[in-house]
Amino acid sequence: MNTPHPTSSLPIWLIVVAAVAAAIGLWLGQRLFSAAQPPRLDNAVLYPAPRTIPEFHLTRADGRPLTLADWRGRWTVVYFGYTSCPDVCPTTLATFKQAWKDLAARKLAGRIRFDFISVDPQRDTPEVLHKYVSYFDPDFVAATGPDSELTPLTRAMGLMYSRSTDANGTISVEHSGAAVIVDPQAREAGILRPPFAAKAIASDLVTLAASR
């Protein structure tokens, strides 16, 4: 006589619940893993962790103040230069102009901004700054301030500048060529390194705008 072996089986509903839980766990794991990966960028380099930017107070070309609070709520590309720059600054801003046209066409004008900060405040008056940046694009923000504001700001962002005057009174200015990327929390997220390419910059900023 054959004795039947007892069998055990889980209720169908418990199997379904376990399967759903496993699927949700897999989905969440993929989301978390994806979030931990930095976005793929062409021209921009992001830091492993955003860097704090100290408070500052500059004056915009329109007379209004430019402070750290103005860098919150959007991605901002900040470039330090001066209007008398013979080559690097105008070339850089011309490239930013092309990138800005691409971004505006994508309806991202409200989520990204370009700021030009002069490290030659004696010559770059508000009127000079306004005329200079407007030549490239009236949406660009221009500002400057005293060395007491500019020096700690540039140093904190890993940049440098210097001015010297020769015996004939000619002023020479040296400055870093990189542009800083500020995230919507007003932190230094990374940099754009030359040589700049408008298409790559626009593509990177589209990616960053979509990431947060």
Q: What is the pLDDT of residues 175-198, one digit of tens each?
A: 999 999 999 999 999 999 999 999
Q: Which of 23, 39, 47 is nearest to 208 (CA)?
A: 39
What burial class does residue 133 get, using C-beta atoms within 10 Å of its C-beta: 0-12 exposed, 13-18 middle, 19+ buried? buried
Q: What is the pTM of this model?
A: 0.81
Instruction: Give the residue ranges of the chain where pLDDT is below 50.
Output: 1-8, 13-16, 18-22, 26-35
Give the torsion sign (CA, 204, 179, 123, 126).
positive
**pLDDT for the residue 56:** 98
Cα 39 from Cα 37, distance rounded (Å): 6
